[in-house]
């Protein structure tokens, strides 16, 4: 199953994506959550510390 969460800014896309990822993972489903937003916050919403979040590993422009 593939789920994409899209919409206008400020409508809770990251919160919904994080909640779906957690719920499916808790049910035992394999989950790959990708945040392609330039202001990536999905890792933080999933509870990952900022120091290991992908935000810390952005490639230089």
Q: Report the percentage of the chain scoring pLDDT > 70.
A: 85
pTM of the model: 0.78
Give the whole-angstrom CA distance, residue 43 versus residue 1.
Answer: 21
Are 23 and 33 in contact by the 8 Å Cβ rule? The answer is no
pLDDT band at 12 (very low <50, low <70, confident <90, very high): very high
């Amino acid at each position: 199953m593939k789920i994409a969460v899209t919409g206008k800014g400020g409508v809770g896309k990251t919160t919904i994506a994080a909640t779906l990822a957690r719920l499916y993972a808790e049910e035992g489903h394999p989950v790959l959550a990708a945040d392609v937003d330039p202001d990536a916050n999905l890792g933080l919403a999933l509870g990952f510390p900022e120091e290991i979040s992908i935000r810390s590993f952005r490639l230089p422009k």
